[in-house]
Amino acid sequence: MALSPKDLSDLVSRLMPEAMGDDPEESLRPGTTARGPTAMALSRGRSRSQAAVPVFAVRGSDTPAPGRSAGPGPAGYGLLELVGEGGFGEVWEAIQMSLGRIVAVKRMSDKLIAELAKDPGEMAKVEEDFQREALTTALLEHPNIVPVHDLGLDEDGRPLLAMKMVRGERWDEQLYDDLVKLTADEVLAHHLPILIDVAQAVAFAHSRGIVHRDIKPSQVMVGEFGETLLMDWGIAVLYNPGLLDEDCRQLVDEIAPTPDKAFNPTGTPAYMAPEQTTSSALQIGPWTDVYLLGGILYYLLTGRSPHSAPTSKESFALAAKGHVHPPQEMAPGREMPRELVEIALKALAPKPSDRFGSVKDFIHALENYMTGAGNRQRSMAITKDVAGQVAAGLNGYEVLTDCHNRLLQAVSLWPQNPMVESLQTQVRLAYAGEALRNGDLVLARLMAEAVGEVNAEERDRLLAEIATREKRDRGSRRQRRILYIVALVLVLLVMFDIIFLIAWQRSEGMTAMRRRVDDAERRAAVAERRLDEFKAAGYDVPEEAPVEPEEGNPE
């Protein structure tokens, strides 16, 4: 449903940050200079040259500054290749000199530093945000969250983060290819497990009181060996500091901001929850990430983001209104399991209270679908409802047909449903009895025979009654045939009498006419004889006068 120009203008003018870009898939971050692509496409093993490796030392917060000289000290890193850019800077493939291992080093880019050089206050804010993201990520030790190895300052005194080097590709790139090449079933079979892995990482973060706020396929790395890692916690919110481990509570002021201090609106317009579009972050919570995960499921089903639009402003307006097109309308003709559609739309409910109560509930729903547990639950719900109708009494073809069809649906969802066979027997027996009372003996026999051996005694009793009725009906039909033949003969006789009478009447009429003609001929002969006698006696008999033709008529 497209928004009217007025609605769009009102929403945009009221809430839209001035710094928002044109791409609805681009993350909106605090401030104007920190906005940019959020996904870090790490190396897939590109070839590199070791000839000119920039090397610098890193100092921790309690280590004296090494000065401007660069050298491979105990905590030194050698940069090998730029492999990604994010909202705060750039990611390099690097060598950790102390251990001789390959790591990913994230630091502020020269371009960003140049942009911030004229504004020391903004520089300090970005550095603080960089360190917040690093500390927040370091607190989240989970198999599906990229491990952090080190946090320190480079030789220029700017923050630097060393983390595990992940070789693979971004999830959105995989999805883009697979949505074109694979069938809908194949896409779901391959990518639903990845979504569950991402959701597990989010659920763990929630258990530590942290909300991500910017979950989308481009924020996920899929490693070469199937590992799934949720990246970029740069706009996370500490919605409940009380959930942090006791040892970490002293870091509250140094990690993700609490909702009363967090920047809003923020996130990715194409995926944003409605509460992310407001000027306050006080409504942000775990339900926000539930919405974002539902948006990814929506993308798996349709190939489109939930607030897909040509521009970020239109996407932002759709997010603010909480409007999501039904998946079937967004991708007509594409096969979509109804259960997954229901899960996606529940997670994408505009009101947080209408969404899943937690990410764990969302995961449970997906796992139920994948294992068939969801189908079993729906099948049991159907049979329980039918059992209630059976107990209340089944009367009328409409009710019986509805129960019969719903039991067939229950079997299709879960063939091993233990309640179905007994209920089908009861419904079929009731159907046979109803048909017998209505004289529909063919339907009654079909339903009774379908009972099988489950209730052979009742089946045989019904079949015997049906046979008696059929025998009686056959006698009635024989009598009706005899009566019909007699009636037909009588009708034929009557018709014959009518035809005979008509023929007789016609014959009598012809005889009478012939008699009249004969009488006329005799009278004419008598008249002619007498005329001849008059002539013989000498009487003058005038000749017949010619008949004059009437005027205007030919003679």
Q: Among 165, 197, 229, which residue terminates a domain?
A: 165
Q: How would you write the pLDDT of the chain (555 residues) with one tens digit per residue?
A: 445 555 545 544 545 565 566 678 877 766 533 333 344 434 333 333 333 345 555 444 343 333 322 333 335 888 888 887 765 678 889 998 888 899 998 888 878 888 887 888 888 888 888 888 888 888 888 999 988 888 877 777 778 888 888 888 899 999 999 999 999 989 999 999 999 999 999 999 999 999 999 999 999 999 888 899 998 888 999 999 888 877 677 677 778 889 998 989 999 999 999 999 999 999 999 999 999 999 999 999 999 999 999 988 999 999 999 999 999 999 998 889 888 999 999 999 999 999 999 999 999 999 988 888 778 888 899 999 999 988 888 778 888 888 888 898 888 888 888 888 889 888 888 888 888 888 878 777 877 777 777 677 777 888 888 888 877 776 666 666 766 676 676 677 677 767 766 776 677 667 777 777 777 777 777 777 777 777 777 666 565 555 455 554 444
- Please tell me the predicted confidence (pLDDT) of residue 128: 82
Q: Give the 3-state secondary structure of residue 185.
A: helix
CB-CB neighbours of 20 under 10 Å: 20
Are 42 and 104 in contact by the 8 Å Cβ rule? The answer is: yes
State both tokens at 259.
């909702």
Q: Are residues 152 and 243 in the same domain?
A: no
Q: Are residues 66 and 198 in the same domain?
A: no
Q: Give the 3-state secondary structure of residue 221.
A: strand
Cis peptide before 66 (omega within 30 of 0): no
Instruction: Please provide residue 71's backbone torsions phi and psi, each rounded to the nearest 5 degrees.
Output: -165, 155
Q: Give the 3-state secondary structure of residue 148.
A: strand
DSSP state of 217: G
Helical segments of 274-419, H only: 286-302, 312-321, 327-330, 338-347, 359-371, 373-392, 397-413
Query: Does residue 261 lie within any of the structural domains?
Result: yes
Query: Does residue 339 lie within any of the structural domains?
Result: yes
Q: Are strands 168-170 and 220-223 parallel, antiparallel or unpaired?
A: antiparallel
Closest by alpha carbon to 221, among 174, 184, 253?
A: 174
Q: Are residues 161 and 123 in the same domain?
A: yes
Closest by alpha carbon to 236, among 345, 132, 145, 105?
A: 132
Number of domains within the chain: 2
Cα–Cα distance measured from residue 460 to residue 449, given in angstroms and rounded to the nearest whole number:
9
Q: Are residues 183 and 329 in the same domain?
A: yes
- The secondary element (H helix, E strand) that includes residue 228 is strand 228-230
**CATH number, domain with residue 335:** 1.10.510.10
Q: Give the 3-state secondary structure of residue 532.
A: helix
From residue 400, give the alpha-carbon distance in Å to each of 241, 444, 454.
57, 13, 19
Closest by alpha carbon to 229, among 187, 179, 255, 194?
A: 194
Query: Does residue 435 lie within any of the structural domains?
Result: no
Query: Does residue 322 lie within any of the structural domains?
Result: yes
Closest by alpha carbon to 266, among 284, 291, 290?
A: 284
The residues facing 78 across adjacent strands are: 55, 95
Query: Does residue 147 lie within any of the structural domains?
Result: yes
Query: Does residue 87 lie within any of the structural domains?
Result: yes
Sheet harboring 159-164: ordered strands across?
55-56, 77-85, 90-96, 101-107, 159-164, 148-153
Q: Are residues 295 and 177 in the same domain?
A: yes
**CATH number, domain with residue 79:** 3.30.200.20
Query: Does residue 106 lie within any of the structural domains?
Result: yes
Query: Does residue 29 lie within any of the structural domains?
Result: yes
DSSP state of 439: T
Q: Are residues 105 and 20 in the same domain?
A: no
Q: Are residues 76 and 155 in the same domain?
A: yes
Structural domain harbouring 266: 1-33+167-371
CB-CB neighbours of 402 under 10 Å: 15
Q: Among 356, 371, 386, which residue terminates a domain?
A: 371
Cα–Cα distance measured from residue 219 to residue 422, given in angstroms and rounded to the nearest whole number:
51
Note the Cα 308 to chain centre separation in Å: 16
Q: Are residues 264 and 303 in the same domain?
A: yes
- Please tell me the predicted confidence (pLDDT) of residue 42: 44
Cα–Cα distance measured from residue 195 to residue 300, given in angstroms and rounded to the nearest whole number:
9
Closest by alpha carbon to 295, among 213, 239, 399?
A: 213
- Provide the strand spans (E) within 144-215: 148-153, 159-164, 168-170, 210-211
- Please tell me the predicted confidence (pLDDT) of residue 479: 62
Q: Among 107, 137, 165, which residue terminates a domain?
A: 165
Cα–Cα distance measured from residue 151 to residue 497, given in angstroms and rounded to the nearest whole number:
121
- Please tell me the predicted confidence (pLDDT) of residue 62: 40
Are 264 and 279 in contact by the 8 Å Cβ rule? The answer is: yes
- The secondary element (H helix, E strand) that includes residue 209 is none
Q: Are residues 190 and 143 in the same domain?
A: no
Q: Are residues 91 and 152 in the same domain?
A: yes
Are 293 and 282 in contact by the 8 Å Cβ rule? The answer is: no
Q: Are residues 189 and 259 in the same domain?
A: yes
The residues facing 84 across adjacent strands are: 91
Q: Are residues 219 and 342 in the same domain?
A: yes
- The secondary element (H helix, E strand) that includes residue 83 is strand 77-85
